Every structure is written in structure tokens, then in C-alpha cells.
Amino acid sequence: TYKDTDTLFLQNKKNNIKHVFTKSYNPLFAPNNKWFSFIKKDSLYLFNLATAEKQLVGTTVKEYVYSYDGSYLIAKVQTNENNSLKIVDLKTFKTKIISGLIEYEYSPDDTKIAIITKQEQINKVSLYDFNAFAFEKVIATDSESEFKGLQWDDSGKKLAFFKEIKD
């Protein structure tokens, strides 16, 4: 559990260079071993393992992960009463922010994210494609019902979810 006194240490075993990140937690290495990331006071930082440069990715971050190949950083951001999903392309540093986030689930092949959002009283299930860095398609919309329970099949070709009808 994170405490105000926790300190992360990152040391290169080849050259013995050590980096210290005070009051930091939730460390994660990218699958491609190019990046190291951590949270400090609800702010997400990205550390380039080759250049030792640190940069702020976002504030009010609640959780984050890397894509399967380490090309993208995906962070759940909370502002006021709303949640957003922030997707950062780690090659170009282009950023996509998806507001009104309710739920999301990665496809088993990690090339897509199924996302449930609520914007302007419209509930929507959409697919976001990492390769295109854009929404692929909207699967369902409804202003009377809510969607939940995203679940991919093992192949990543089929997606199931619930439609909850309001009384």
C-alpha cells in the first residue's frame, strides 16, 4: 500500500546508474522495455529508459496499463465526477482522450478496446482500434438503457455485454 514516505528505486544493472522517485507508487515497465512509469500524488509519469528523461503524462490518474507491445499507454483519469480514458501513442506522443467513460475491456489480442461511454445522456458501446489510433465502430447506442459487463471471447472477434433497461 502506498504511503507518503514510499520511494521507488530504479537501477541499471549494466552501468549501475540509479534513479530515485520519492513518494511514488504503482511502478510498471512497458512490455518493450523502453519505458518505466509510476504515479506520484495521482499524477502519472513516464520515464524513458534509454534517455533517462521523465515526463508528466496526466493528473488525477486512477489506474493505467501499457498495450501488449508497449506502443501505447492507457490511463483512466478522473476529473470531478467524470472518468476519461487517455490513450498515448508512445512513438509520436499523440494523445486521444475519451470522455464519459463507464467501462472498458481489452481484446485478447490487445489490438482493440471495447468502451462504454455516456455523453449527453446517450449510452454507447464502441470499439477503439490501436492500429488506426481511432474509433473503429459504434456497436450500440441507447438513451433509455445502460450498457455494462463487457466480455470478449478468447479469439477477440466477438464481444458480449448487457443492456440494462431502466424502470
Q: Is pLDDT above 70 for 26? A: yes
Sole residue written with cell 511502478: 27
C-alpha 59/C-alpha 163 separation (Å) is 32
Q: Is pLDDT above 80 for 12? A: yes
Q: Is pLDDT above 60 for 49? A: yes
Q: Which residues contact 166 (CB under 8 A, 6 or more apart)?
A: 144, 145, 146
- Which pLDDT does position 4 carry in this prediction? 59
Q: DSSP 3-state assignment of 12?
A: coil
- Bridge partner residues of 143 (DSSP): none
pLDDT digit string, tens, across residues 107-138: 988 889 999 999 888 999 999 998 888 888 99
**In a 10 Å sphere around its CB, with 0-12 CB exposed, 13-18 middle and 19+ buried, how is residue 122 labelled?**
exposed
pLDDT digit string, tens, across residues 56-115: 999 999 899 998 889 999 999 987 778 999 999 999 999 999 999 999 998 988 889 999
**In a 10 Å sphere around its CB, with 0-12 CB exposed, 13-18 middle and 19+ buried, how is residue 22 labelled?**
exposed
The grid cell for 100 is 464519459
